[in-house]
Amino acid sequence: MKSLKFFALFVVFVCSFLNLQAQTTLINTKFDNTSPINFLTSDGTPNATKAADGVCSKGMIQINPVQKIQLDVSSCSSLVVNMKSTSTSTRTVTIKYKKGNAATYTTLLPTVSVLAAQSFNLTTIYPDLVSNESISIIIEATSGNTQVHDLVLVSSGLSSANKITSFKMNNQVGNEVINATNNTVAVNVLAGTNLTNVAPASIAVSSFAGISPLATATRNFASNSPVTYTVTAENGTTKVWTVIVSEVSSTLKEITDFKLRNSQFGASIINKNAGTITVNIPDSVNLGSLTPYYIYLSDNAVISPGINTAQNFNNPVVYTVTAPDNTTKNWTVNVNKIDVTGFPVVNFNEVIGFASMTADGFTGPTTGGGAIISGRTKDTVYINGPAEFAKLCTILQNRIKYKTYSNNPLTIVLEAGIYTGTGGVESVWANEMLTIQEQENLTIIGRKNVILNFGINVKRSSNLIIRNITIQDYYDDGINIGEPETHHVWVDHCTVGHPTTLPADSEHPDGGIDVKDGASYVTISWTKYRNSWKTGLVGHSDNPAQGVIDAGRLKITYYANHFYHTNSRNPRVRFGEVHVLNNLQENVMLYGIAAANSASVYAENNFFLNTVWGMYADRAETDFKAVFGNNSDDKFTSKTGNYPATGLKQVGNEYDDSGLPLITAQLNSAMLNPSGRSVKFDEFNPSSVFTPSTYYAYTPMSASVTRKIVPLLAGADVVDFFPKAKTSTTLPLTFLAFDAKVENQYDPSVKLTWTTTNEINTKDFEILRKGDDGDFVKIATVPAENKSGIQNYLLMDRSPIMGNNYYQLRQNDNDGKFSNSKIVVASFTSKAVLKAYPNPTNEILNVLHQSADKNAFIKIVGTEGRVFIKQTVAEGTFNSLVNVVALKTGVYFMVFENEGLITSVKFIKQ
C-alpha cells in the first residue's frame, strides 16, 4: 500500500501539469541500489537497505548539515521528494536553485520542516522551481540529519532545440547570417582563403544539442556541393543545416566616425551616400591649421592625407579613402562656425529641474545607476545588441524579484542595433512596450546607434535615467511614465518619433513621451521630438477622479528639447505644475504648449520657429472665443476642452514666423503677431502660476541662445557619453574574426582565436574579460606580429568564471592609440564543475575540477560515510590524481571541497 500511495500522489501531481507537452521523467529513484543516478549527485551517505517507513520506500540517502543532493536537469515541471527525520526532532532542509547560466544560487524561503515520513511536492511549495530552461536544484540539510527516501523529477520535456547559433570561419569578414527558417548559414571570407579540407574555426549549437559531423571535422567548403551539418536536439529530433561560404573582396572605404575638436558641437554629421561630413565648431576656434581629434575607417582601408597632417578647415577639406582592392572614395569635410555668444557651459551629467529635487522620500538629484549608496556597489551590465534583448528583460525581472539586489545602482549599456522586442519575451506587451516597473537606482543608456522599435512603460520606479536612445515606429507611446509611486525620472538626449515623415495613422503611434497617473519629479532634457502627432501629454484625462490622483503631482521640467515638425501637445498639461524652459519648437503645425484642466504652466525663454500657435491656456468656451475670436476654422477652435487651466505664465519667449503663410482664418486680429503669420503668446492668470525658482535653482539661457544651441545638442547620438581616446592617425588593423570557444566543460578553459590583417604600427593585444556584472578587466597581453597579410592568434583562458564569460580585444599601437574588437561570449554551466575517470578504476582516479583555492582538498568517502582518503589540492590547479589501490572493491564518493563549496561524484573501485 505504501508504494501505491506514493504512486497515486505522483499521478495526481503529474495530471496537474497536463497542459505541458512531451513530459519526461528524468529522475525516479528510491535509492535502493548503488547504481549511479543520472542528473543527480550528492555528498550524503547512501543506504540501499534502509527500511521503508510510511510513504518512504526502502533505501535512502542521509544528508547531514551542509550536505546536499544536487539535481542538474534541462527543465523541471514537477519535483516530489519523500523525507523523514532521523529522530523525534524536527529537521530543517533548505532548497536552492539557479536557472540557465546564472552565476549564483537563489535560496528559497521558508525552509522545509521534516519530522515524520512525509511527501513534499517541492514545485507546489516553490513555484520558482518550475522551469522550461536548464535548472540546478539543491536540497541541503541545514539542521539535523535528514533521510531522503524517494525522489521523482518530471521534465517539461527534453529540449527540441536543434539550431546552429554561431558559425565561424578563419578570415571571416563580418558576421555570419543564420536563417532559421531555411536552415542555412551564409559566411563571407576574404578572397584567397583556403577552403579545401578545412575545419570551421568554431560552431555553436543549441543547449543540449549535438552536431554531426563534429565542428573539428575538415570539410570542402570550396566545392560546388553544399556543406551540410545535422544538429540533433536533446529529444532526438534532427535538423539539417546547409552552410554556404563565399569569398569576397573588401571594398569598404567609409569614414565611420570623425571628430575635429573636443570643443565641437555635437557629433559630426556623416552622409555616406554623398560622401560628406559636417562639423559644427565654435567661431572662436582657428580653423587655419587643425589636426582632427580622430578619424575611424571601415575595414582595413587607409586615408590620405593622414590625419597627422594639419589642414585648413576654413575651406572644405577632401580626404581620399582607399580600400584593399585599391578602389577609392572621396570625403568632403565642411565646417560650420557657430556664434557661441551667450552659450552656457553645459554639464550633461547634472540634471536641471524637478528631477534634481529632494522629495518623495528621495534625496535628489536623480543619479540613476550612478547613485552612491552606503554598503552597496555600482554595477554595469552590457546588452551586446538586439540578440541579447531577452537578457535585458531578465535583468529587469530579477531586479523586481530580488529586492536586495535591485537597490544596487545599476547601469545597463545597450550596444548598437535595432531592437524589435521579438523573441517571445513576456516583458514586451502585444502593443510593443517594454515594462520598466518597480525599479530604482537604474540607468539605461545607449552607446551609439541604439534604436528601439517599441515603447517603454515606466511604472512604480524611482531614480531612473533613460539616455541616448532613439525610439521610433512604436505602436502606443514612445515613453510612458506613470503611477503615483513613480518619481525622479530623467529622460535625456533621446530621439522620439518617426524618422522621416508624420505617420499615416494619427492615432498610432500615440504619445511621444507622456507623464500621467500621478508620476512626479520628472525632467525631460535635450531630447528631440520629431514627426509626431501627439507629442507629449501630461495628465491622462479630464475625469475628476483623475484629478484626485494627480493633485500635487505631475511636477515636470521640459528643458532644452527640440520639438521638430510635430502637430500638438508640446506639451499639453492637465493638473500638473510644469516648467517649459529653453525649448525650441520648430515647424509645429497645430499648437505648441497648452495649459489645460487645472494646470499651472511656466513657459520660459523658449523659441518658436515657424510655429503657428506657440502657446495657449484653456478657458470656458465663451471666454476662449472672447480672446481668440469666433471662427469656423477647426485649426483654431478645437483647442479648448472647456476645463480652464489654473494659469499660464510666459517669460522671455521669442519667435520667428517668417517661413509661415498668412493666417486667413477668422481669428481675433489683436491676437496675431505683427506679421499676421502666427498667434501671440497667450497668458492666463499668470499670478496664479507657481515660480520654478522656489523649487530648484537654475540659470536659463536666453531664447536667442536656445534657438542656436538646442538643434546642435538635442537628440540621441549627438553627445558622446563614451568618449574615445585621442588618436593622431588611423588604426589600419582590421579584426577579421574573433571567437571564444569552450574547449572542455570538465576542464574549464576557453580557446580564444582571432584573425587580423594589415597590421601596421601594431604593438599588442590586451584580452579583456567580464561576467554578467561589472566592467572588463585585462587577463592577458599577446604581442602583435605587426606585419602585413593575415595573422592568426590563439590564447587559452585557463581560469574562466562560472556562467557567462564576455571577451573583448583591445589592440594597441606603438604610439599609444588603440581600438576595440567586438564582444564574444563563452559559458560554463554548473554541471561543468567535476569529473572523475576512469570509472570504474582499479588504481589511479583522475579528477578534473574547478581552479583550486589554497584550502581545497579531496576526500574519498564510502557509502556508509567513512573517510578513507583525504589529500590537499595544489592551489590554482584543475587536475588531481588520487591513488585508490588500497581501497576494497565497491562504490565510493569522490568529494571535492573548494572555496566553501562541496561537490561530489560517485565512482566504482574494481
- Positions annotated as catalytic residues are 569
415 contacts 384 by C-beta, under 8 angstroms: yes
Phi, psi values for residue 637, rounded to 5°: -115, -10
Torsion sign over Cα 192, 198, 201, 205: positive
Return the CA Rg of the chain: 33
Do 582 and 706 contact (CB within 8 A), yes or no? yes
| Concatenated DSSP letters of 432-471 | -EEEEES-EEEEEEESSSEEESSEEEEES-EEEEEES-EE
Q: Name beta bridge partners: 790.
A: 757
- Region label for 483, one of left (φ > 0), alpha (ψ between -120 and 50) or beta (otherwise): left
Nearest to 742 by CA among 203, 366, 103: 203
> Sign (positive/negative) of CA torsion 32, 34, 35, 41?
positive
> What residues have CB less than 8 Å from 7, skipping those under 6 apart?
none
C-alpha cell at 210: 549535438
Please state, in angstroms and rounded to a whole number, the distance separating the CA atoms of residues 480 and 436: 10
Phi, psi of 415 (to 5 degrees): -85, 170
Amino acid at 228: T
CA distance 274 to 19: 58
Q: Vertex 375, ends 373 and 378: CA angle to 5°?
A: 55
CA 154 to centroid of chain Cα atoms: 33
Our CA dihedral for 123, 125, 126, 129, rounded to 10 degrees, sits at -10
- What is the rounded CA–CA span in Å between residue 524 and residue 573? 14
Among 909, 906, 908, 910, residue whose Cα is nearest residue 39: 906
Q: Which of 388, 440, 442 is nearest to 411 (CA)?
A: 442
- DSSP line for 5-68: HHHHHHHHHHHTTTTS-S-EEEEEE---S-S--TTEEESSEEETTPPPBTTBPS-EEEE-TT-E
Is the bond leading into 661 cis (omega within 30 degrees of zero)?
Answer: no
Kindly state the cell numbers that stand for 893: 564518493
Q: How far apart are CA 76 and CA 637, in angstroms?
A: 63
Residue 627 sits at φ, ψ, to 5 deg, of -85, -50
Alpha-carbon torsion (797, 801, 804, 808), positive or negative:
negative
Using CA atoms, how far apart are residues 208 and 100, in angstroms rounded to an integer? 12
Whole-angstrom distance, CA of residue 312 vs CA of residue 293: 14
Cell of 873: 589540492
* Contact of 428 with 447, CB cutoff 8 Å: no
What is Dmax (Cα atoms) for the chain?
109
**C-beta separation of 499 from 531 below 8 A:** yes
Cα 712 from Cα 706, distance rounded (Å): 10
Phi first, then psi, for residue 405 (nearest 5°) are: -65, -35
Yes or no: say if 166 and 202 are a contact pair by the CB < 8 Å rule: yes
